[in-house]
Structure 1
């Protein structure tokens, strides 16, 4: 009996699944979802180019250092970078002495725990430590930025667009959707999914960060630099991966050609 009813039960579930899919598709076509403020006014990230883009792209270490300066001076107050250690900064051009100084001078200290007494204490950060977590006193918990450019669609462009996208709500939006007014304490940004976010504009004026290389620190430049830095934190081995990838591709092409020639040689007598 089990063998008899087993296929019938499977067929029943298959038909039910197909009916559900077909009905959902029909409803989506004949009864499109009502327009919302988010669906109408949410914007796609801006077009922006980074030195690491493309198969031939490479990190610009000077830009990464500028981006780190922006993170340190502006973003680190609220956002942590817990997947990155201080000594990783040597990869973007800082010397070991500079890394030790950065770790020692960092605002948040490393925490130690004595399992015998249960006591906790603070100590100065070491180069081998990861960036300490940020304890935020406001509402909510700002996301960690270590992997942000991997966690968001078109991550680098999204971060850049978000940082430069704060604006007043369009009058057309409030006319079409009167209930979509930005609540008190939130800030309108069309590049954010629901258009309103708790984070106030972090980059507000030119010269907010002083660049050691003399680059003019405009809001646009600072947004690009910190976005590039977050590309590196999310994938610090990007340059190495690309450098390794080209020899591998060359080897595969050569191996394919050799395999084809070997096949032609082995089967040459079979053609006559």
Structure 2
């Protein structure tokens, strides 16, 4: 009986010790121990993240493949609508967000961002047949869409306030829905980052065209993670991997692959323009 009691106590002690050890690990250590980095994103944000013939594709997929190699982990994707991505990060459903997200002052208060991976300045996508909208100001009084809970939506509303007639702002769960309404003539434009709409127009030049110049403040895309001490070493490691990719030309090559251009981006954004 005494021996069984000692055996039981020893087993309990080992289990308790293992639990404490797991709790002592930070996010990077846990990811490396599991061999998996969980990344949240949406798949309606081409060319960063989208579904191509049933396959998850885009710049983010390629970039995180490289990050996975640098960290020695596999990438596990968790996909959901954009409105649920950042709340999912806060709830601990994944380790970080691929998004990407425009780096804004408000977001920097809540999240830690990686080094920028592309420019995100906002522009207007219009119908290729539209001859009335030749500059951003021409959307005054017209119906224009943007993604729900997005920085692009906020900037569209701010730009609308500067025009003689306010824009009829339409919010969409996904950009794909907004593009569909634009193609069908239910709205006259979609506000999104210049890289996104340039890609869309390039894919369907007979349907869409880009209104230049962009109307928004110059902004940048980065990958957000949590700011707490538990995630500090993980974000450090991801930043190190991205800076290595910037230095050896891998990021430029992926930008050229997905956008047809490369972007000059700062090492960090500490004082966003919005």
Using structure 2 for the length normalisation, give the TM-score: 0.24
Q: For the pair shown, which has the larger CA radius of gyration, 1 or 2?
A: 1
Q: Which has the higher contact order (CA 8 A, sep 6+)?
A: 2
More helix by share: 1
